[in-house]
Structure 1
Amino acid sequence: MNDGAKINFDPTDWESMKKLMAQYGDSDTAIDGTNINGEDVLISISKDNIVVRTLQSNGWMRRDIYSLIDGNFVTETMYDGK
């Protein structure tokens, strides 16, 4: 899906996240890129959640999950280690 086009992902903007889910939720590929800290990210979008995997500059892999459940967002953060 990453054909050089850019998306703006702001985990504090729930309405924009809902639009991303509606627009890209049927995609079967992830979007790769770089966050504002220069870290590599991989974003997977489905109709009801967004998963952001970040290879942090400290070597840790962070996984942020944003799930839309009954119209509300539930967020989780997990660290998969080095």
Structure 2
Amino acid sequence: MIKVLLFAELQETTGKSNLDIPVQNITVQQLKEKLKTNYPQLNLHDVMTAINEEYAREDDAITSGDTVAFIPPVSGG
């Protein structure tokens, strides 16, 4: 099981702040594709990704028990 944390518009789009995804070993890119299948309106194109509080790349591996955070770009004025 992987815990996925969602922030800002990702949380608003899904109506959830976190998701539990029943997978074992997967890459960040594969996880994004899986989430897009379940939530087609979810925009994960420009998000920053962290695995266990460390920034990650698309090809980084995620294993059962990990926590993945998707952090959308922040704008301010």
Query: Which TM-score applies when normalising by structure 2?
Result: 0.28
Higher helix proportion: 2
Structure of higher RCO (CA pairs closer than 8 Å, 6+ residues apart): 2
Q: Larger Rg: 1 or 2?
A: 1
Higher strand proportion: 1
